[in-house]
Chain A
């Protein structure tokens, strides 16, 4: 799609001069102005833009916070409180950064679910998807290490539990854990390690985002119909069409973000993190940040030994597998049709998967006791079955609906149908812009 010739024409002498030497304006023009996008993109496609804004928000607030933060166990907690109380607008910076992490994850989850729904991972977009999975993995590492920096009870105990996972790995596990911690337990070297990595990783993310966007601009966007762009009428120039739509999506998203920053800044956090870390006082329930809860439930669902694998290693393996399986999705899905709009059964299983994922998250916040354990096990089973059984088999057995011949045809048919039968408008809202 972007393989076409550049339409950039420098107008002034300065533009021509720059264009002949380093055509950055041409790159920007071709990527964000004339770049053709399918005309039927809905608001689910605005999360890519929202995510890049969130990355910028996190890096900018983070850099200013670092100017006031002290990465020493005796000072970290106090320096964060100094930011909250004495630094001008410090409370705003810190609440933006802390809630920003949560909203970064909200956006990334919606972005991933959009990809799963519309089959965005299918050929030729496998690398695009995998780069996205790498970004997600880097975000998880960054989020986890960032949560340790305020040096509250959940910071320290979360770090203890999560680095403890590595000890389950045979032979090198303990060595790996001590490497991460910089010692035998969570202490000052852990904090300095995590601080350095927490500052580094966002820039690594930014680098992979560039690759992600590059890959996107080579293969072009998918769209709610899942049909490739075939003709000129299928697309519109990125600016102004996608730009203005993305801008509106961003404003709505940022308004919800602002609502949390200003009115519920501690809703997504844990009260225990306002207590300084004490390595001798274990909190009653150690829970990770909300965005890790589904994986935390999967980890604790494995309560039984499988042959030579004990339950602890089994849980860790299941948890890592839950993320690793995402990388193989392009090859696990055997369907020839991309979009769930034309796949009635996939659509059903997809929504069950979404509900199941939220349920797993809720279970993750509960102690591993009573009926929660079998619930975690059933939910975990469905999580894996969706990828490993349903995705491969459904492509072979499911009879997809009749596909339109082109994006243009789909758009025109929908609008005609909506005009003729206003009642049918809800049914067609799948691809509504």
Chain B
């Protein structure tokens, strides 16, 4: 009887699991020309220095990413939540941060005369927005404001589906955001399938999460940003660097988090062993 029951339960799990898997595959198989589920292609999984339990940001990469943001993305995308002072995380000195901030013009005020005035940025300022307000941003970009980039790496993520979402717990996959941003930035050169209509003024990108095409034109081209450290000046490299930078912008305390986590888990493991041995000793004199 017991065996039968276990067999039935196992069968149930198997059935539920396989039907779930079948469903995931079925949703992936869209009609090529008129897909209904997005993105059309799953993000390309990349290697990141900050992945895994001991992951750390690559400071040189973050500095390059900042350069890409500053010279390309920041023309349209704000990054309101990030303060210049936090750029110390990227390995910059106080003097460098001061100089960096001073390159920006910040509106301040009102002063004692009641007037708004402009002044060079200081370390405690946040990155200024390229537009005066959301309406101006929307008006300049065909009706939709470009999203703020402070949290973009955590605000984008493609549903992983069964069984990947279970596997992710054990592999600690938490890089869906940067993978998505990288895939989008490098996904413009794909040609749309035959018969697909691409609306005027939009650009086909099979990695875009909410449609077949988006308004943002391919923002990066080879050689566009000059790197001083000899890294390749390619769209692929730019995309990697800016994705890593955005991950830092969204989660600046990630290194401290993972470091603390390791100490906590080691402590829990030791405490767990001690308490378990205590439990064994306490219970050794009773049958249970």
Which residues on A are within 8 Å of B, measured CB to CB?
39-40, 78, 81, 84-85, 91-92, 95, 236, 240-241, 244-245, 247-248, 251-252, 254-255, 258-259, 261-267, 271-272, 274-275, 284, 344, 347-348, 351-352, 355, 358-359, 362, 365-366, 370-372, 375, 411-412, 415, 427, 433
Contact partner of A351 (CB less than 8 A), chosen from B9, B154, B168, is B9
Q: Identify 8 residue pairs between A and B in the complex whose beta-carbon atoms are under 8 Å apart, listed by A's number.
A: A39-B287, A245-B283, A251-B268, A264-B168, A271-B155, A348-B8, A372-B23, A412-B287
Interface contact B174-A274, CB-CB below 8 Å = no
Interface contact A39-B260, CB-CB below 8 Å = no
* CA gap between A62 and B71 in the complex, in Å: 41
Q: A236-B286, A251-B275, A284-B210 are in contact. List 11 more A-B contacts (CB 8 A).
A: A85-B86, A248-B276, A258-B265, A262-B258, A264-B169, A266-B154, A267-B168, A271-B157, A274-B154, A344-B5, A347-B5
Q: A251-B271, A254-B268, A263-B174 are in contact. Are A359 and B16 (CB under 8 A)?
A: yes
- When C-beta atoms are compared, the residue in chain B nearest to A243 turns out to be B282
Q: How many A-B residue pairs have CB under 8 A?
A: 127
Interface contact B286-A92, CB-CB below 8 Å = no
Interface contact B53-A240, CB-CB below 8 Å = no
Interface contact B287-A255, CB-CB below 8 Å = no
* CA gap between A163 and B279 in the complex, in Å: 48
Interface contact B288-A85, CB-CB below 8 Å = no
Q: How many residues of B contact A (CB 8 A)?
A: 56
Query: Nearest-CB distance from A3 to chain B (Å)?
Result: 23
Interface contact A371-B23, CB-CB below 8 Å = yes
* CA gap between A118 and B77 in the complex, in Å: 57
The segment from B58-66, B113-121, B249-257 that touches chain A is B249-257
Q: Is residue B92 within 8 Å, beta carbon to beta carbon, of the partner chain?
A: no
Query: Nearest-CB distance from B215 to chain A (Å)?
Result: 15
Chain A interface mostly helix, strand, loop or mixed?
A: helix
- When C-beta atoms are compared, the residue in chain B nearest to A236 turns out to be B286
Interface contact A264-B279, CB-CB below 8 Å = no
Q: Which residues of B contact A267 (CB under 8 A)?
A: 168-169, 174
Q: Which residues of B contact A39 (CB under 8 A)?
A: 286-288
Query: Nearest-CB distance from A66 to chain B (Å)?
Result: 21
Query: Nearest-CB distance from A351 to chain B (Å)?
Result: 5
* CA gap between A422 and B177 in the complex, in Å: 51
Query: Nearest-CB distance from B91 to chain A (Å)?
Result: 18
* CA gap between A372 and B23 in the complex, in Å: 9
Q: Is residue B70 within 8 Å, beta carbon to beta carbon, of the partner chain?
A: no
Q: Which residues of B contact A240 (CB under 8 A)?
A: 282
Contact partner of B154 (CB less than 8 A), chosen from A236, A271, A284, is A271
Q: A85-B252, A271-B177, A344-B5 are in contact. Are A264 and B288 (CB under 8 A)?
A: no
Query: Nearest-CB distance from A244 to chain B (Å)?
Result: 5
Interface contact B260-A92, CB-CB below 8 Å = yes
